Chain A
Amino acid sequence: MAEPIDLKVILEGDDARRFLEEFERPIISPRKQKMLKEAREIYKANPI
């Protein structure tokens, strides 16, 4: 049987700091924006 799925991510220290900073002020590159736009289009073409 495959390993159970771990459903919790724990952040501490610098990982936590970065996460909280970007939570308040997300920075989205043009590349990421394009990817997320494509994602919506792909899902729209094949919704479940």
Chain B
Amino acid sequence: MADIPYGGLNIRRLNHRSRVSSFCCSEDDLNDFIKNDALIAHSNMTSRTYLCYLNGIVVGFATLAAATIEVKSVEDQPIEGYTPKTYPCIKLARFAVDKNYEGKGIGPYLLRWVMGKFYQISDEIGCRYITVDSKKRSMWFYEKHDFILVEKTRNKLHPTFYLDMCDEGDGTTESSS
């Protein structure tokens, strides 16, 4: 199945004029979210939803929210005196492609757009990771995009992944000024 050229897709932020009633993916809770909850969350500033359009039709969406990764302990038992540390991240709170447009490259495009959006955000405030709680059937998609599975969540209903967005590699990090 041929991918849709990226030039044919565009992203817009959800607003009260957005038409999402015809969107339909394979997960009922995601359909419910985009039709009934996304605008409310958008209005009360707890998340932001971005719609992916093809020829004026919503074919995918991504919902982002601020979040944290907390490192409780490197041992299985809590260590007395150890203070858990937290790291800032962006949560990919919801992510879906319309089932009529699956397998055409929209998911990879939209996820890359989210990553690009991440860099815009992290240029302004400290942020290092993208996290997601994946549907079981979507785990392959995040693994394919180099997300790391939190092993302890592997057998949960929604296993958790994170992606380190640091793009300064070679085993060293750029020192901050």
Contacts and interface: CB of A to CB of B under 8 A. Distances in A.
On whether the two chains bind one another, the answer is: yes
Given A8-B68, A13-B73, A15-B150, 5 more contacts: A2-B33, A28-B168, A28-B169, A31-B146, A46-B10
A2 B36 contact: yes
A48 B151 contact: no
B101 interface: no
Contacts of A27: 169, 171
A39 B128 CA distance: 15
Interface string A30-45: 0111011011111111
A31 B143 CA distance: 13
A42 B112 contact: yes
A7 B91 contact: yes
A39 B63 CA distance: 17
B115 interface: yes
Interface string B107-125: 0010011111111100000
B78 to A, nearest CB: 9
Given A48-B13, A48-B50, A7 B150 contact: no
Closest CB pairs A-B (n = 7)? A43-B116, A28-B169, A39-B115, A2-B33, A7-B67, A39-B112, A39-B116
Contacts of B170: 28
Given A2-B33, A44-B116, A13 B76 contact: yes
Contact of B70 (A3, A9, A17): A9
Interface in A3-23: 3, 5-20, 22-23
Contacts of B91: 5, 7
Given A28-B169, A46-B11, A20 B66 contact: no
B71 A16 contact: yes
Contacts of B145: 35
Contacts of B162: 9, 19
